[in-house]
């Protein structure tokens, strides 16, 4: 079925918007018609490329009658206020992960979307990646049997990419958990059915110059008996992309000669200079990321089922069965985040919600906070705001 393009507004023209550009430019089911951002340079660049209108405030964007939905690509701590303003304006919403920083703000966002009768989708998240979706389809078919165990791990240079000062303060959404861990949590929850029961975790904050969590290991158990181990390190030493065919997280080819580049780029920079360096990664201010050569990914993931193990890779899913081994391809689309647009179009044009709703985003955020709490208390934390895949109903 063919629908007229979703008329999309964008709130925030920074790094998150830059990473969505290859998808927006290659998927004619969305048309960028408006943007709001504080920097005049970014607004001017948007109008020059896409036409439409550019605003300086979220209130102006919310009042634009020609917008069907808005992609929120602002800093984490602003999401709740922006969702409330846009929902009150009757806009469907795609909000970049994480849903929010605090669970109180997450509750506000769920309530705002419900009261306005609009769809709120949390993404892009790596739970939308084609190999993840393919693995979920294979699990749902029943051919592999029940999921028993998932191992997910990722070693990156995340903590040493250019950061604004607040991105190094946990209470403001800084560190690896809210920006990175939520991806891993989303994926594992999707593969295991969504309804996590408890978390036991440890975290690491090992660099005094960057005083926030740079690593964690967590064990989750799920309704139905599955359990999962999640490990992440952003300390720019080992790079787990060497186990992903030297494909980077965003689908580009890794050059081994660039090892250590993240730390070298920050050498001798004070916080103001580092913030200025990050500014060069925003729309209209610097080079854009290249078109990916493979699907995005979030590190090695292995799923153990009754009759097979599944290994996710950028190209698809490798199946290790009782007697046979095979590879099921997940082709790369010219619009690399096409599943995100699938979800947006279905929500706006068919009134059909994806798995990654506001409640789903709140459930993943709850796990982030539970990891921090478990590490501080050295004990397991029970989860109370989880939701499943089929019913999407919150467990109170």
Q: What is the pLDDT of residues 19-64, one digit of tens each?
A: 999 999 999 999 999 999 999 999 999 999 999 999 999 999 999 9
Count how many domains the chain has: 2
Mean pLDDT estimate for the chain: 95
pTM strictly above 0.85: yes
Same-domain pairing of 208 and 326: yes
The residue range of the domain holding 158 is: 130-334+366-382
In this prediction, residue 393 carries a pLDDT of 37
Spatial separation of the C-alpha atoms in residues 235 and 213, rounded to whole Å:
10
Kindly indicate the confidence band of residue 390, based on its pLDDT and cuts at 50, 70 and 90: low
In this structure, the answer to whether residues 140 and 287 fall within a common structural domain is yes
Quick one: residue 173, left, alpha or beta (phi over 0 = left, psi -120 to 50 = alpha)?
left
396 part of a folded domain: no
In the sheet that holds 30-36, the strands lie side by side as: 53-55, 30-36, 6-11, 69-72, 92-95, 120-122
pLDDT at 391 over 50: no
Q: For residue range 318-332, what is the model confidence (pLDDT) as tens digits?
A: 999 999 999 999 999
**pLDDT 10s digits, 245-279:** 999 999 999 998 999 999 999 988 888 888 888 87
Assess whether 269 and 348 both reside in one domain: no
Residues 112 and 74 in one domain: yes
Quickly tell me which residue has 């391809």 as its tokens. Answer: 329
Q: Are 168 and 161 in contact (CB under 8 A)?
A: no
In terms of domains, do 227 and 202 share one?
yes
Q: What is the pLDDT of residue 392?
A: 40
Residue 305 belongs to some domain of the structure: yes
Q: Residue 354 above 80 pLDDT?
A: yes
- What's the rounded Cα separation, in Å, for the pair 161 and 371? 23
Which range has the worst mean pLDDT, 4-8, 172-176, 284-288? 284-288
pLDDT for 342 equals 97
Average pLDDT over residues 87-95: 98
């Amino acid at each position: 079925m063919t629908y007229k393009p979703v008329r999309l507004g964008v709130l925030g023209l920074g790094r998150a918007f830059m990473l969505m550009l290859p998808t927006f430019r290659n998927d004619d089911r969305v048309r960028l018609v408006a943007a709001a951002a504080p920097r005049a340079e970014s607004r001017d660049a948007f109008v020059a490329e896409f036409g439409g209108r550019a605003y300086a405030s979220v209130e102006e964007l919310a009042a634009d009658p020609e917008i069907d939905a808005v992609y929120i690509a602002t800093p984490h701590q602003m999401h709740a206020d922006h969702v409330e303003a846009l929902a009150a304006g009757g806009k469907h919403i795609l909000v970049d992960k994480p849903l929010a920083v605090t669970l109180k703000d997450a509750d506000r966002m769920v309530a705002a979307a419900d009261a306005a009768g609009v769809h709120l989708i949390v993404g892009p998240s790596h739970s939308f990646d084609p190999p993840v979706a393919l693995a979920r389809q294979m699990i749902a078919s029943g051919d592999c049997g029940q999921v028993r165990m998932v191992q997910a791990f990722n070693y990156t240079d995340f903590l040493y990419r250019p950061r604004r000062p607040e991105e190094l303060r946990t209470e403001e959404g800084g560190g690896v958990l809210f920006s990175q861990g939520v991806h891993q949590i989303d994926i594992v929850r999707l593969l295991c059915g969504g309804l996590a029961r408890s978390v036991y975790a440890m975290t690491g904050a090992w660099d005094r110059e960057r005083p926030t969590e740079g690593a964690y290991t967590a064990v989750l158990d799920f309704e139905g008996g599955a359990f999962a181990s999640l490990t992440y390190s952003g300390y720019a030493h080992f790079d787990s992309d060497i186990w992903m065919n030297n494909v980077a997280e965003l689908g580009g080819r890794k050059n081994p000669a660039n090892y250590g580049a993240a730390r070298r780029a920050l050498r001798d920079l004070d916080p103001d200079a580092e913030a200025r360096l990050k500014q060069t990664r925003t729309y209209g201010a610097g080079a854009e990321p290249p078109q990916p050569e493979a699907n995005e990914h979030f590190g090695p993931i292995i799923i153990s089922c009754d009759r097979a193990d599944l290994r996710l890779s950028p190209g698809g899913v490798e199946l290790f069965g009782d007697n046979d081994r095979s590879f099921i391809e997940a082709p790369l689309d010219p619009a690399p985040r096409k599943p995100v647009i699938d979800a947006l179009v279905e929500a706006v044009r068919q009134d059909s919600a994806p798995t990654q709703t506001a409640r789903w985003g709140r459930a993943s955020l709850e796990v982030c906070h539970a990891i921090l709490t478990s590490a501080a208390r050295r004990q397991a934390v029970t989860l109370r705001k989880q939701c499943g895949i089929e019913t999407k109903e919150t467990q109170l």
